Structure 1
């Protein structure tokens, strides 16, 4: 082996921090690539990082010093990860540049963002947006890395704030990264900026993903103050009306209720929105049947629900209130059954991973009723399914002249594996409880024609299961369409019986979109039920679930999933 080969063999791999800086310098315009960098392959490990027991014996100063050394000179993932963990607990402002650079490695992003959140929320948000945001936000990310406040403002107003590129966490991170409240204070007459701030806040409280993001946003109260008190500066456009109505619903019964409001302030802001949106100039357009589909959907939603958040009580007799809230249909916001105890929404207070269940699940099937036997009820499920991130359960039982909610179940605390603290036991006067549940079960003021048709079709099939059974079918989910809320979607499962010659229990799912003939909902539902009774639904539905092989085996064309 030559002397050069010996030197190369003995050379240590570069520090990961130095490698990140080099990649950043080589990036076009100094802006990191979207989705971050990949860690380099290293074969020579550092000395093993100290054990947890050894770290626990260090003083804070010694642990901080070790964290800085490991993050700046570590060449392997375990060493650098240990350094990041130490700085998550003990880091200071001088650690922000190093952590920000390491966060550009996607394997470190989550840990670095957590560490930076404790030091500087803006820096954490910039790293998160750089690695995790969609391509539509790249111009804003570039302006943030350049530190150009004028460009940040321009790009903040320009990017398409559609649901697909602005979830609740993204909205919070944008507000943190841009220091949105400071921007609003610097430019109080910029109505485009004000409208965008309202849109970001409305997306932050959207229950479709993580509605608790607004509770993690430290400037939430300040942003609410600026948006609502200046709302009168906005032109009375339908999009602005939808934004303000979404905020009103949040102030009425959403996660925003849980913010640390000064006494009476939330009610005052809600009242001011009610007065503004009641002005004639804010009246939504009439339904003419023409125009863009999204605008027609939104105008119908405003006409239907526009006054409800300002008329509903903050609490109900007996401490329980159940309110069905249908959010902005253009945002594909969920229809959720908000349960409030003493005016505070239960689900976002104890479960951060998904909205409360739909009224079809909790109310139509009577799950919230208090029967003679205790019943465990799932109030909410994680957006990614219970098997991934859990669900929220409570046991409801009747105890004499009281109804009791107790024995809560929810996921462990993130990153710890430790059980989350159990919410308190709630006791309600049984008569008041029964009255409130009965009221909620029969209140359909939130609904719209397609949703009403779907509910009536489902009720008809529940009452007459033989309508589908005669075709070897069983009922699936029935609701308004997700992408087109004005459509009615009926799904059913085909399980071939003995007559088909393939009674192996392997099902195939079908979907039928019920055509809207403009008739009243009750007539449309009756017509749909008549067709289900008299004509095999497999002849007019399409395959939407199962497998291609099973569809071909049974003689049906495969058209992919729903």
Structure 2
């Protein structure tokens, strides 16, 4: 060791684990703040960091051979110029270390030294990565404390998950949830106040705004939901909240893999469904139970590891309950707030769908499912192969595409030429997290799905996604099933039907828009107000003459539901498009401010 290295070893700053404990002691009531803690600011070295390639090599050299003590690794990282920005390279290098069984104890010991005494981000990152591989229950308190530092939350939670799922969930919630409405529940979880946990679990807002799929799973894990349900078997409010958490975990618009990785999912389904008769018959409770039924029928819940016949039995139980007059009559609600009317109409249209089995079950089933409109759940074309929903099984980054895309435009039909079809797209965008594609072709008396394209890994996993097989379907049965799904009109509500009819009219008569230098955009029911039809179009001067000039400007026209049949509303909308320039009654909603001002249109106020 050089003289400079000896001096550095004697002047190491405070261990980051001790720093986290210090911040926790200083926090009001001993409860971490929203989003956890920041690391102290430290001056960066004057010299430039090594390149990515050089740092990758340096990290591997620093870890080989794996040192016996943390001080040695501190010095190696410092000597090679490894900095905070290289933490991902460190994690990857540790995960790829090939250690014989006889070195696992030594690796664990080093991981403990680094997490408990490490003073730099690279050193603690290496320690956490080692404990992800070799950690034991005695490491839980140290991992929980380090997880409160934002820099280490993810690796700390990854290390905690296999050791103590409740602690992992609490750390995740504390560091990922900043809304004031959830703070009472987080405070109760952190302090371990069991009565307060139950009270706050029942009280906090459980709308999609507050409850992502991951937050729902983590709340269920943090509260030990099955234990709560067993300790309070007659608590209807707790039962309703448990059902709500299950619904949110399986939301296909978010990340339905949260339901699949929730270890107690089967237990909670059992408790909720078998005790559902305790719930007062309300529209909210009906919506929860119907959402659970749709999930058990054709959603991510099908993919859980059910004992033979148990899922069907629970589904039948829900069907019998919701058919009882006291529940079925709720769908007749015709007055009240807008959300109540939306839910009542949805229950009328959808209420028996999950309990109606196909008369002649085949290998392929195409089922259009409209989710709870109050939660703004998507309308998706669920594709089941051998009874299992395809999209959440092999993609799980977003819902299946809507029926207007897959069915109204005939994309699932098997024609004489192979055709690539997008079955699902990530909720964030394809450019961010990808999409699911398949090539459909006809091969004699069979239809083949092959040539799959999807992201290389499944959500939340570093493992490569396995190759998907080719699926073969009897062509006659396939054609019949697709035709049945294309002609199914049981699911849409009036505004959605109006939108489909307007779109069909514009596909048949594109000149209705082209005469105004416009082309069709997306047309559907409104997201914020499902009882409206939204027509969008793109305007480019010169389009009608075949000489478009400049960038397009997008317009949005909102058509409220006036209570007349969708056919009449669509016909009226198409007449107006034929007679009046839609730019005079539509509003600019896309393009650029500069282009809008150039063409003499106002730019929307986004506030």
For 1:286 and 1:258, the matched residues in 2 are separated by: 30
Shift of 1:44: 8.6
Kindly indicate whether residue 419 of structure 2 is the aligned counterpart of residue 391 of structure 1.
Answer: no
Q: Within 5 Å, which residues of 2 pair with 1:78-477?
A: 78-135=122-179, 136-285=181-330, 290-313=335-358, 317-413=361-457, 419-477=464-522
Q: 1:316 to 1:32 in 2, by over 3 A?
A: farther
Q: 1:262 to 1:138 in 2, by over 3 A?
A: same
2:3 match: none
Shift of 1:399: 0.7
For 1:415 and 1:532, the matched residues in 2 are separated by: 47
1:507 match: 552
Shift of 1:148: 0.8
Shift of 1:301: 0.6
For 2:435 and 2:497, the matched residues in 1 are separated by: 27
Name the SS for the 1:412 alignment partner.
coil
2:494, 2:561 within 8 Å by CA — same for their partners in 1?
no
Name the SS for the 2:490 alignment partner.
coil
2:108 match: 64
For 1:53 and 1:278, the matched residues in 2 are separated by: 53
Choose which of 519, 523, 529 in structure 1 pairs with 2:564.
519
Name the SS for the 2:107 alignment partner.
helix
Kindly indicate whether residue 23 of structure 2 is the aligned counterpart of residue 23 of structure 1.
Answer: yes
For 1:151 and 1:288, the matched residues in 2 are separated by: 36
2:604 match: 559
Cα deviations across residues 354-384 of structure 1 (Å, max 9, x unaligned)? Answer: 1111111111111111111111111111111
1:411, 1:419 within 8 Å by CA — same for their partners in 2?
no
1:327, 1:334 within 8 Å by CA — same for their partners in 2?
yes
Cα deviations across residues 329-367 of structure 1 (Å, max 9, x unaligned)? Answer: 011100010000111101111112111111111111111
For 2:404 and 2:18, the matched residues in 1 are separated by: 55
2:514, 2:543 within 8 Å by CA — same for their partners in 1?
no
Q: 1:373 to 1:286 in 2, by over 3 A?
A: closer
Shift of 1:47: 2.0
Shift of 1:498: 7.7
Q: 1:54 to 1:287 in 2, by over 3 A?
A: closer
1:74 match: 118
Kindly indicate whether residue 75 of structure 2 is the aligned counterpart of residue 47 of structure 1.
Answer: yes
For 2:527 and 2:422, the matched residues in 1 are separated by: 22
1:355, 1:381 within 8 Å by CA — same for their partners in 2?
yes
Q: 1:9 to 1:555 in 2, by over 3 A?
A: farther
1:4 match: none
Q: 1:53 to 1:534 in 2, by over 3 A?
A: closer
For 1:53 and 1:118, the matched residues in 2 are separated by: 16
For 2:460 and 2:208, the matched residues in 1 are separated by: 28
Q: 1:330 to 1:141 in 2, by over 3 A?
A: same
Cα deviations across residues 456-506 of structure 1 (Å, max 9, x unaligned)? Answer: 000000111111001111111100011111110001111111899x95331
Q: 1:198 to 1:428 in 2, by over 3 A?
A: same
Q: Which runs of 5 or more structure 2 residues have no equivalent in the other structure?
A: 1-6, 46-73, 78-89
Shift of 1:55: 4.8
Cα deviations across residues 271-317 of structure 1 (Å, max 9, x unaligned)? Answer: 0101001111112446665311111111111111111111133x954
* Segment drifting more, 84-93 vs 416-425: 416-425
* Segment drifting more, 63-72 vs 46-55: 46-55
1:37, 1:105 within 8 Å by CA — same for their partners in 2?
yes
Q: Which runs of 5 or more structure 1 residues have no equivalent in the other structure?
A: 1-6
Q: 1:286 to 1:115 in 2, by over 3 A?
A: closer
For 1:89 and 1:153, the matched residues in 2 are separated by: 34
For 2:331 and 2:350, the matched residues in 1 are separated by: 14
* Segment drifting more, 66-75 vs 104-113: 104-113
Cα deviations across residues 193-238 of structure 1 (Å, max 9, x unaligned)? Answer: 1111111111111211012211110000000000000000111111
For 1:42 and 1:55, the matched residues in 2 are separated by: 30
Shift of 1:82: 1.0
2:334, 2:344 within 8 Å by CA — same for their partners in 1?
no
Name the SS for the 1:336 alignment partner.
strand
Name the SS for the 2:468 alignment partner.
coil
